[in-house]
Amino acid sequence: MLTGALVLLSTVACLVALARPKLRRAPGWRATVTPLASIIGSGFLVLGPILNASYGKYAPLVMVALCAAAYAFGSAIRFNITNIEDRPVRSALEQSIERVASGMLAFAYCISVAYYLNLFGAFGVKMTPLNDPVYGKALTSAVLLLILAVGWLHGFAAMERMEQFTVSLKLGIIAGLLVGLVVYFAKQTAADELMVLAPSSTGWAGITLAFGLIVTVQGFETSRYLGDEYDAGLRVRSMRLSQWIATGIYLAYALLLTYAFDASGIPLTETAIVDLLRVVTIVLPMLLVIAALAAQFSAAVADTSGAGGLVAELSKGHIPARMAYLGLVVIGLALTWFVHIFEIINYASKAFALYYALQCAIAALGCFKETNQPWRGGFYAGCSGLALAVVAFGKAVEGSG
């Protein structure tokens, strides 16, 4: 009871703090919260049990590696934001790569929407009598069709106003989750019952599995496309801050989960975190389901809108946004019914990794051509190679059920 009360109190306190008008109106916070919410969105729900079951005692180190890779990719995008602001006239090669990168991002959004809404469906039926994959897929399909209908007929302006609320709700519940984990970790420590588990994925298999999880720390790139709202300097600072905050949250989460819980006895599914945290307090599973439903729907709407806008822009209006919505929903329905959620995560990782490879290539070209920092260009070229390795070798988690 005490743990549940602390979890609820922490959640409410965080929500109250985030609801302060002064904070909500602050440009720095608004610019930070958009990428932050994307980074610690859906990945937060699925990543903990996957790392625990796959890497055992080394899970926190894998989390460090994922966050470091994301920060390196983010560094390239931050360079591009600044470089384009300072030197708006780009070479033909850079412009061509940028167009391909934008097209790849639109495609990545198509896969990520399927990823988000499959999580929505799974969590939506998790604590009901209809807790079955078929019903979860049916719920996912219904929401995909709802999004298509709204986007086709009215656009997403009304739905997008939900984002501020869902972001605050998600961050508040994550705060409550971390407090609950700290309390449980302390209890396990006092009882001398902390876990040190052997990894089940090692060597090259472990590396390729980590490659397939890149999408779980993705989202920072949204700062690249907020130029209509914020200047380049603020976008760079807010992206960097959002990545540092997300890294701190993810590492705390990984450490607390890895050594206090044994995930080996729980089927590795997309909703495994709900089953894993039942022992902490009955409050947490309910809060996680609420967070999942709000976060996944909001993220799916944002990415659907983003994909439509990118397609319309790239086609110079020849393909209207609503036709892009139709294509996205068709892809989403196909992935929902014919591909396992962990495979969708892997595909999304590859799509975003290809986008990062292209952005890193643009940054490398910019460094070699326009700065006196060849080492930096080499670093970004190496990051591009790493992203291409993710595309080539990333593997999906082998889940249960």
Instruction: Look at residue 29 in the predicted model and tell me its pLDDT.
Output: 83
Q: What is the pLDDT of residues 340-374, one digit of tens each?
A: 988 998 999 999 999 999 999 999 998 888 777 78
pTM value is: 0.91
Q: Distance between CA 17 and CA 37 in Å, rounded?
A: 16
Residue 401 confidence (pLDDT) above 60: no
Residue 140 confidence (pLDDT) above 90: yes
Q: What is the pLDDT of residues 229-238, one digit of tens each?
A: 788 889 899 8
Which range has highest mean pLDDT (102-116, 169-183, 284-298, 376-390)? 376-390
DSSP string, 17-80: HHT-HHHHH-HHHHHHHHHHHHHTSHHHHHHHHHHHHHHGGGHHHHHHHHHHHHHHHHHHHHHH
Task: Report the 10 Å Cβ neighbour count for 202.
Answer: 14
Q: What is the pLDDT of residues 34-86, one digit of tens each?
A: 788 778 876 778 888 899 989 999 999 999 999 999 999 999 999 999 988 87
Q: Tell me the residue type at 358.
A: L
Q: CATH class for domain 2-393?
A: mainly alpha
Residue 400 confidence (pLDDT) above 90: no
Q: Distance between CA 7 and CA 128 in Å, rounded?
A: 23
Instruction: Look at residue 138 in the predicted model and tell me its pLDDT.
Output: 95
Instruction: Look at residue 280 in the predicted model and tell me its pLDDT.
Output: 84
Q: Tell me the residue type at 159.
A: M
* Percent of the chain with pLDDT strictly greater than 90: 35
Confidence of residue 157 (pLDDT cuts 50, 70, 90): low
Which range has highest mean pLDDT (113-117, 168-172, 331-335)? 331-335
Identify the weakest region by mean pLDDT among 28-42, 239-253, 277-291.
28-42
Instruction: Look at residue 42 in the predicted model and tell me its pLDDT.
Output: 66
Confidence of residue 282 (pLDDT cuts 50, 70, 90): confident
Identify the weakest region by mean pLDDT among 98-102, 299-303, 376-380, 384-388.
299-303
Under 8 Å CB-to-CB from 95, ≥6 apart: which residues?
A: none
Instruction: Look at residue 3 in the predicted model and tell me its pLDDT.
Output: 82
Identify the weakest region by mean pLDDT among 81-85, 92-96, 164-168, 268-272.
164-168
Q: What is the pLDDT of residues 304-316, one digit of tens each?
A: 887 888 888 888 8
Under 8 Å CB-to-CB from 137, ≥6 apart: which residues?
A: 118, 121, 336, 337
Q: Angle 210-211-215 (CA atoms, 0-180°, nearest 5)?
A: 95
Instruction: Look at residue 126 in the predicted model and tell me its pLDDT.
Output: 87
Instruction: Look at residue 160 in the predicted model and tell me its pLDDT.
Output: 55
Instruction: Look at residue 161 in the predicted model and tell me its pLDDT.
Output: 59
Instruction: Look at residue 189 in the predicted model and tell me its pLDDT.
Output: 92
Task: Report the 10 Å Cβ neighbour count for 57.
Answer: 14
Instruction: Look at residue 364 in the predicted model and tell me its pLDDT.
Output: 93
Mean pLDDT of 140-158: 83
* Percent of the chain with pLDDT strictly greater than 70: 96
